Structures are given as C-alpha cells and as structure tokens.
Structure 1
C-alpha cells in the first residue's frame, strides 16, 4: 500500500490506464476530451503524478520506438487496479466549483455595469460552446462507441450531467442579463431595487421553507 493516498488525478490516470496502455502524450489527449471541464487540475503536474504512480508500483513502463523516436508507455499493474478499486469504495468529497465568471459577478460593484454585462455574455457563450462540445461527444459515443466502448454506459451518465450543467449556466446567464438590463450601475441597485433583489432571492427562501419540518 502507498504511504499516503493518491490525488484524485492519480486515480483518474489509473482509470484511464485500466483498459488501455498510453504514453504521457496520449494520456494528455484523453484528459482533454471533456475531462478538463469535469476535473480542471487533471493535466497539471501530469508527469509528477505518473512518477508517483511508478514509485508506488501502480504503473509500469516500457519503451517503444517509432523510427528514431522513443516514447515511454505506461500500463497499470495489479497493485494499481487494487488501489483504484479500493478508492472507488471510499466516501467521496463534496462537489466543488471553479468558476471565474461567478467571482467576477461577486466583485462587479468594483467595475462598470458594462463589465458585468460582458461577463454574463461571455459566460453564456462559453457555456453554449461547452454544451455543444459534449453534444458532439454524445453523438460520437452513440455512433462509434468512443475510445472506451466498454464504458459508454458510464460516459452516457456523465455526458448527460455535463450537458445539463451547461444548460443551467446558459439559462442562469440569460436570466441574469435580463435582471440587470435596466441597472444604471453595479452599486445603486442594492438600495434602489430592493423588491427585485427580494424576488431574486425568493427561490432560496422557498427552498429553505420547503425543507422545514411540519409543525
């Protein structure tokens, strides 16, 4: 067993190697096919993670030559499969969100209303592009089985979540654009638009009341 637990990226790489042997470059290609949107840090420090997996003997390496070029190929070991299976049986951490656009919304009172409108427009456009990307993945997996046809039922679960995730962002951005359409700036609505603010917060209050136990 390892002296310390692997990172989620380490287990992700083990999962990619569970059905295919890959070079570091090929692993980067796989991580770039929708995984970055789900786990943004997946490709950071990839070589360090691979070195750690090798040190723990969770992966083994071999050299392959294509002409004069050599590359290192990684494959999962029995110990790596055991570690991956053990991790899948443990409790997971709560979901987190890395969303620069929302940080800009929270700090928008330090900029102009045009800055805020631009943030919302860019958020909508980026979400539309990502939704389209996952829609193309869905079509590709549906017609060809994808790179991992033996996992396409699992990819279908994840793909549906990601499309719904970006649909939610698109809907929120369009709603937010409508909310701020008459704002003269990003400061005064805190005072002048009290009724609007209370209406925007109503779904949260209603959800809290819905969770309250019956008297």
Structure 2
C-alpha cells in the first residue's frame, strides 16, 4: 500500500466499478453518476481523485491513450485490487446514514408556517415521483437487454430497494399532506395522529410495543 494512502468506502465503490470493466475517467464519471451517486453520493465528489488514489495503492493501473491531441486515461483493476475488494466485501458494513433536508424542515416545521410545511411535503412527493420515473426507465432498459446483463441479478436487488424507498416516500407524503392539511394555520396545540403513532410502536420486531 502506498505510504499515506488509506482506502475508504468510496475507494472500494470505485474499485468495484473497475472490477466490472476498465473505464476512462469520463466513462467512470458517467457510470458513478448513473449508479453509485444514488445511494453513495460521496462518490460524486471524488470522481477524479479516487482513480488516481487506487493507482497509488496498487489496486488499479492507468494507461494513457491519445486520440489526436486528446488525452484519454483508462483505469483497470489489478490482481491486488481484486483481492482487496474481495476482502472488503467480507467485512461488516456500517449501518445506513440518512440525510434529508426535507425531513429536517418537517422536523422543525412548528417553528414556521403550515403552508411552508405543506410545500415541503409536496416537494418530497415530487422527488419521490421523479425517482420512480428514473427507476422505471432503468428497469425498462434492463428488460430490453441493457448494459451488463451479467450483473442484472444484483442490480435488480438494488433497484427494488430504491424503488420501494421512493414508493414509501410518496405514500408518506400523501398521508402527511392530508394530516397537515387538517391542522389549524396557527401551528400551536397540534392534534396528534395516535393511530400513526401506534402503528410505529407495533412495528417493534421484539414485540415490546
């Protein structure tokens, strides 16, 4: 391992793409934005840094080609890289970390207005529908014999998860807009949906609800 270089989760995410096939920097950028960025957005900020880091670690190699005067660098995984990726896949993963500015605004909504809260919920619903359209387009592409058919089984696992997240989000937005729509304009002494609270309590897998 190169001195001073430590592989991160984003390093392994990029290495995983190189395990599929060699990529130029441009191709790798597009593929990360198409796939990894949806559930590992930190990869997007490391688009140009990570491939060079993998080369420094000995996990990838880089070849420079020229098309006229245009320079094109193609990265490929090395045997050391495949070994490192396999070892990382055998370790325990960190739990999910959720980040949502929309949910943060909902959490703080009693400090604002009901209309602002309804607008936030509407924006959340719109995001969910946009994701559903994207999920459907990707699924249709795969059904039509799209890229990497040999990876379709694992891609379907991820695609189903992302699709259900957007579906659940839209379902929540429909419920939340109905609840908040019945609230008074003055955001004080708001009524509690006891049935919704009980539903959350009942989902305790340990049966302690």
TM-score w.r.t. structure 1 length?
0.90
CA distances 1:13-33 after superposition (whole Å, capped 9, x unpaired): 111111211111111100111
The equivalent residue for 1:121 is 122
The equivalent residue for 1:92 is 93
TM-score w.r.t. structure 2 length?
0.92
The equivalent residue for 2:102 is 101
Gaps of at least 5 residues in structure 1 are none
Question: Structure 1 residues 5 and 211 mapped into 2: Cα distance closer, same or farther (>3 Å)?
Answer: farther
The equivalent residue for 2:201 is 205
C-alpha contact 1:111 1:186 (8 A) present in aligned 2: no
- Which aligned pairs between 1:61-72 and structure 2 lie closer than 5 A? 61-72=62-73
- Which aligned pairs between 1:146-161 and structure 2 lie closer than 5 A? 146-161=146-161
- Which aligned pairs between 1:183-202 and structure 2 lie closer than 5 A? 183-185=183-185, 187-188=187-188, 191-193=189-191, 196-202=192-198
CA distances 1:117-173 after superposition (whole Å, capped 9, x unpaired): 1110010011111111011111101211x3222111110111111111100000001
The equivalent residue for 1:165 is 165
Gaps of at least 5 residues in structure 2 are none
The equivalent residue for 2:37 is 36
Pairs aligned (count):
208
Shift of 1:184: 2.3
Secondary structure (helix, strand or coil) at the match of 1:75 reads strand
Shift of 1:209: 8.4
The equivalent residue for 1:180 is 180
Question: Structure 1 residues 163 and 114 mapped into 2: Cα distance closer, same or farther (>3 Å)?
Answer: same
**RMSD (CA atoms):** 1.9
In the alignment, the residues of structure 2 paired with residue 86 and residue 28 of structure 1 have an alpha-carbon distance, to the nearest angstrom, of 25
In the alignment, the residues of structure 2 paired with residue 212 and residue 6 of structure 1 have an alpha-carbon distance, to the nearest angstrom, of 41
C-alpha contact 2:2 2:57 (8 A) present in aligned 1: yes
Secondary structure (helix, strand or coil) at the match of 1:62 reads strand
Shift of 1:186: 6.3
In the alignment, the residues of structure 2 paired with residue 20 and residue 128 of structure 1 have an alpha-carbon distance, to the nearest angstrom, of 32
Secondary structure (helix, strand or coil) at the match of 1:95 reads coil
Judge which range, 123-132 or 28-37, deviates more. Answer: 28-37
Question: Structure 1 residues 80 and 180 mapped into 2: Cα distance closer, same or farther (>3 Å)?
Answer: same
